[in-house]
């Protein structure tokens, strides 16, 4: 192993700033205000803005970034390099400049392994001139803060162009990572695998489709972007090198995703001169990473603590939970570090938890409860996270929290060491809900031709002819959880006794012509363009002419209009079903809670609540009417929100909109069937609406705006 490099002497100012970083951090810890790394680092950076570069000078550094697995991979790499006593690292996960500065100030002279927020890779790389940059994976996460995933990958490209002095270790199985890394002169490709592919269906380089080899690992795009040959790969429980040599990967950490993290860490360790056998045995002992995967006792309950904060993370975690029968307690918050929009819950296949009891908890438990209701998962809502652990009455539970929910629970557990919390499980705040089974979803349209008109105006209750709900190109227009709209309308029709077909109609295949209800969701600029090109020659126009009901959300709304902007801002022709045109809005991207009151002329009569996240502004023509007036947020950009004409509706609301506004779902169903739907027990939706309508009045929301990158 190479010895730690010695640090170049600090200037007087940098020395004072480093001292202040540690002193303020220490004080904050003594006052029990947290780990102290952020506040300390902020003070240090205020005194010496160049502190990161000064503290990094002369030492070897590895930076770890990506959407999921940063903290664990960093921890594994630290172990491979000799453990925390011999490496400077931000173990608690403070991965913005202040946290990085604090980690370096705390361990002068030592080699550094630092996890870095995806948005700060460029700045950290400039300051620290690392030997290794590890790119794990990229997927939708905190979209309100980082905008669109392709934009993050684009920033990686800028940051890594001309990176001659170091090596990028990158996951060859993630097309967004490959595109992001491919400006770097030296890349060590790793076949770490990636279960979640939904953010890379559209090629980041050319906007064409990416084709994944069925059942295999290969993928390619028409423009030539393809899976590079990896030097090191994960194959089951083994690591395989380019020469085909296999080594067993023995980890204390559970799950495929941790084996993937370990292979990435192994490659980085190799670049830093650590022999593979030594690195493997050092990593085998890591069993708990900042509380993740640990088993804790709270009262009489033993809980395994797991963290999942986005659909990609949940996809891996659902595999890990498979086969168990313990209740699952799920904590969801939506603070800055989580992302303010939990619409992503609709991209998680919670249907896989059917048959298990779930307790929804955390600050956004109500969003989760509505999601579970439509997933057909029996659940209860318990606001307090510690109470939630006890609520199922079981002795062992699995706890899965997103970022701040997880941190909160750990803090609460630490404050009450070993003290039994309750003897009796508390009564859930809402009743346990046992919904009817979720509606089956077909990914492959059963039939692609036929006339919508022949079958339209069926009665929901006749039970003979199926109501056909088509989610249009969820692979391209599904980034913001809007495919959930399909689940909502289909379930609401089914619960009323109708027979329903829910079709997820991916791009690249003929779109079913005989749909009764077509739903288009939000998407990134590139995939929006791709969907627009494909839909121009689809049977959607014919379906509209025959009176099919249509709802477009955000990108989907923009596409229904006469023109919309591409990523460069250039105007592109839309489908022309609504007399609206969209252009890039002035100033900041519109991001935050949106609340709008229906106009007297609108077919909707209840306030609309949801979350918006768009750069486009939409101008309404003579042939359409707005859906509502904006009370809070941006909407169309002129004080109105959405548009409608006949049976075609457009809105900027995510949430998904039909989950947060069931009256809107029922309006679409009424239009599609010609009959007024019976009332349903919507207690959980109402509880969510009440909470959101209350939250939006809070002044904090006025601050939730991010700049257009």
Q: What angle do CA 638, 570, 705 make, to 5 degrees?
A: 45
Which candidate, 408, 209, 212, 400, places its Cα nearest to that of 321?
400
d(CA 212, CA 197): 9
Q: Is omega for the bond preceding 656 within 30 degrees of 0, making it cis?
A: yes
Of all residues in the shown chain, the one whose CB is closest to ligand GLN is: 522
Residue 314 or 557 having the CB closest to ligand GLN: 557
Could you tell me the smallest distance in angstroms from the CB atom of residue 480 to ligand GLN? 5
Q: Minimal distance in Å, beta carbon 174 to ligand GLN?
A: 21
**Contact in structure between 650 and 602 (CB atoms under 8 Å):** no
Tell me how far, at minimum, the Cβ of 709 lies from ligand GLN, in Å: 11
CB of 135 to ligand GLN, least distance (A): 24
Shorter beta-carbon distance to ligand GLN: residue 120 or 480: 480
Between 173 and 525, name the residue whose CB sits nearer to ligand GLN: 525
In the complex, what is the shortest distance from the CB of residue 634 to ligand GLN, in angstroms, rounded to a whole number?
11
Provide, rounded to whole angstroms, the least separation between the CB of residue 522 and ligand GLN. 3
Are the CB atoms for 110 and 87 separated by under 8 Å?
yes
Q: Where are the beta strands (DSSP E) in 193-311?
A: 210-212, 219-221, 232-235, 238-241, 246-248, 295-298, 301-307
The dihedral sign for the CA sequence 631, 636, 640, 644: negative
Least Å distance, CB 319 to ligand GLN, is 29
Nearer to ligand GLN, 149 or 413 (CB): 149
What is the separation, in whole angstroms, between the first and last Cα of the chain?
Answer: 41
- Helix (H) / strand (E) element for 470: namely strand 467-472
User: How far apart (Å, rounded) are the C-alpha atoms in residues 669 and 455?
Assistant: 14
Q: State the minimum distance, in angstroms, from the CB of residue 657 to ligand GLN.
A: 12
Report residue 698: phi and psi, to 5°.
Answer: -70, 135
Q: Which is nearer to ligand GLN, 121 or 529 (CB)?
A: 529
Chain centre distance of CA 48: 35
CB 555 → ligand GLN: shortest distance, Å?
3
| Residue number with CB closer to ligand GLN (1 or 151) | 151
User: Tokens in use for 441?
Assistant: 């979803």
* 679 vs 654: CA distance, rounded Å: 24
Is 148 or 516 the residue whose CB approaches ligand GLN more closely?
148
Give the number of other Cβ atoms within 10 Å of residue 576's Cβ.
15
Cα three-residue angle 627-669-346, rounded to 5 degrees: 80
433 CB-near residues (< 8 Å, 6+ apart): 369, 372, 373, 378, 379, 380, 684
Which two structure tokens, joined as six digits, stand for 414? 């630490």
Strand partners, 202: 209
Nearer to ligand GLN, 150 or 692 (CB): 150
Beta bridge partners of 88: 112
- Minimum distance from CB of 160 to ligand GLN (Å)? 25
Angle formed at CA 315 by CA 309 and CA 316, multiple of 5 degrees:
90
Residue 149 Cβ vs ligand GLN, minimum distance, rounded to whole Å: 12
What CA–CA distance (Å, rounded) separates 113 from 59? 11
Taking the complex as a whole, how short is the minimal distance between the CB of residue 592 and ligand GLN, in angstroms? 12
Q: Residue 581: beta bridge partners?
A: 563, 619
CA distances from 150 to 331, 341, 365, 471, 709 (A): 28, 19, 30, 23, 12
DSSP character for 118? G
d(CA 558, CA 347): 22
Of residues 704, 661, 307, the one with CA closest to residue 484: 661
Minimum CB–partner distance for residue 405 and ligand GLN (Å): 25
612: DSSP letter: E
Q: How far is the CB of 385 from ligand GLN (least distance, A)?
A: 30
Q: How far is the CB of 409 from ligand GLN (least distance, A)?
A: 31
What are residue 582's DSSP bridge partners?
Answer: 618
Closest distance of CB 530 from ligand GLN, Å: 12
Q: Strand 643-645 and strand 648-651: pairing?
A: antiparallel
Residues near ligand GLN (CB under 6 A) are 480, 522-525, 528, 554-555, 613-616
Q: Output 617 or 631, the one with its CB closest to ligand GLN.
A: 617
CB-based contact 182:157 (threshold 8 Å): yes
The least CB distance from residue 707 to ligand GLN, in Å, is: 13
Which residue, 89 or 147, is less far from ligand GLN as judged by CB?
Answer: 147
Q: Is 55 helix (H, G, I), strand (E, B) or coil?
A: helix
Nearer to ligand GLN, 264 or 554 (CB): 554
What is the CA angle 114-115-118, rounded to 5?
135
- Residue with Cβ nearer ligand GLN (99 or 656): 656
Residue 64, Cβ neighbours under 10 Å: how many? 33
At 109, list the tokens. Answer: 């002279």
Q: Could you give the CA distance from residue 563 to residue 558 in angstroms, rounded to a whole number?
A: 7
Contact 639, 471 (CB under 8 A): no
170 phi/psi in degrees, rounded to 5: -135, 150
């Amino acid at each position: 192993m190479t010895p730690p490099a010695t640090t170049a002497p600090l200037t007087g100012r940098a020395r004072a700033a480093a001292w202040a970083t540690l002193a303020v951090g220490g004080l904050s810890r003594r006052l029990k205000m947290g780990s102290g790394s952020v506040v300390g680092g902020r003070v240090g950076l205020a005194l010496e803005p160049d502190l990161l570069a000064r503290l990094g000078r002369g030492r070897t550094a590895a930076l770890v970034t990506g959407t999921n697995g940063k903290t664990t991979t960093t921890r594994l790499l630290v172990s491979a390099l000799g453990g925390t006593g011999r490496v400077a690292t931000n173990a608690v996960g403070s991965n913005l400049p202040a946290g990085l500065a604090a980690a370096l100030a705390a361990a002068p002279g030592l080699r550094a392994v630092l996890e870095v927020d995806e948005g700060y890779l460029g700045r950290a790389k400039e300051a620290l001139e690392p030997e290794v940059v590890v790119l794990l994976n990229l997927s939708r996460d905190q979209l309100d803060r980082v905008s669109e995933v392709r934009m993050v990958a684009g920033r990686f490209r800028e940051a890594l162009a001309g990176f001659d002095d170091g090596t990028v270790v990158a996951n060859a199985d993630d097309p967004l990572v490959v595109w992001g890394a491919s400006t770097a002169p030296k890349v060590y490709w790793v076949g770490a695998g990636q279960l979640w592919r939904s953010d890379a269906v559209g090629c980041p380089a050319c906007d064409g489709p990416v084709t994944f080899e069925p059942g295999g690992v290969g993928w390619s795009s028409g423009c030539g972007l393809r899976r590079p040959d990896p030097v090191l790969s994960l194959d089951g429980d083994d690591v395989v090198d380019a020469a085909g040599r296999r080594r067993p990967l023995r980890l204390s950490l559970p799950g495929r995703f941790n084996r993937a993290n370990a292979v990435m860490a192994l490659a980085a360790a190799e670049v830093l001169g650590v022999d593979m056998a030594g690195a493997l045995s050092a990593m085998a002992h890591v069993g708990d990473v900042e509380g993740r995967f640990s088993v804790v006792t709270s009262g009489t309950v033993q809980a395994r603590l797991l963290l999942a904060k986005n659909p990609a993370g949940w996809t891996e975690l659902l595999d890990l939970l498979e086969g168990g029968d313990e209740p699952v307690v799920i904590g969801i918050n939506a603070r800055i570090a989580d992302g303010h929009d939990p619409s992503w819950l609709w991209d998680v296949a919670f249907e896989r938890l059917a048959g298990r009891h779930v307790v929804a908890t955390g600050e956004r438990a109500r969003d989760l409860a509505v999601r579970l209701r439509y997933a057909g998962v029996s659940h209860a809502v318990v606001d307090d996270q510690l109470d939630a652990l006890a609520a199922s009455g079981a002795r062992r539970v699995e706890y899965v929290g997103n970022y701040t929910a997880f941190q909160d629970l750990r803090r609460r557990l630490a404050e009450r060491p070993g003290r039994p919390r309750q003897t009796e499980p508390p009564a859930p705040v809402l009743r346990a809900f046992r919904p009817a089974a979720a509606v089956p979803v077909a990914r492959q349209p059963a039939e692609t031709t036929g006339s919508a008109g022949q079958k339209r105006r069926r009665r929901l209750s006749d039970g003979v002819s199926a109501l056909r709900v088509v989610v249009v190109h969820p692979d391209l227009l599904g980034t913001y959880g809007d495919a959930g709209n399909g689940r909502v309308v289909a379930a609401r029709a089914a619960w009323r006794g109708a027979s329903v077909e829910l079709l997820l109609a991916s791009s690249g295949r003929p779109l079913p012509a005989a749909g009764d209800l077509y739903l288009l969701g939000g998407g990134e600029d590139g995939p929006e363009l791709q969907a627009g090109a494909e839909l121009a020659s689809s049977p959607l126009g014919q379906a509209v002419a025959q009176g099919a009901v249509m709802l477009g959300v955000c990108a989907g709304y923009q596409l229904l209009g006469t023109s919309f902007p591409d990523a460069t801002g250039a105007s592109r022709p839309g489908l022309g079903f609504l007399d609206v045109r969209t252009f890039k809005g002035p100033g900041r991207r519109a991001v935050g809670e949106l609340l709008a009151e229906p106009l007297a002329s609108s077919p909707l009569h209840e306030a609309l609540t949801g979350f918006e996240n768009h750069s486009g502004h939409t101008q309404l023509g003579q042939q359409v009417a707005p859906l509502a007036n904006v009370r809070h947020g941006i909407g169309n950009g002129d004080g109105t929100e959405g548009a409608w004409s006949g049976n075609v509706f457009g809105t900027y609301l995510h949430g998904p909109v039909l989950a947060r506004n069931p009256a809107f779902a029922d309006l679409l169903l009424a239009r599609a069937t010609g009959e007024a739907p019976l009332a349903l027990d919507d207690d959980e939706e109402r509880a969510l609406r009440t909470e959101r309508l209350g939250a939006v009045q809070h002044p904090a929301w006025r601050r939730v705006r991010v700049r257009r990158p």
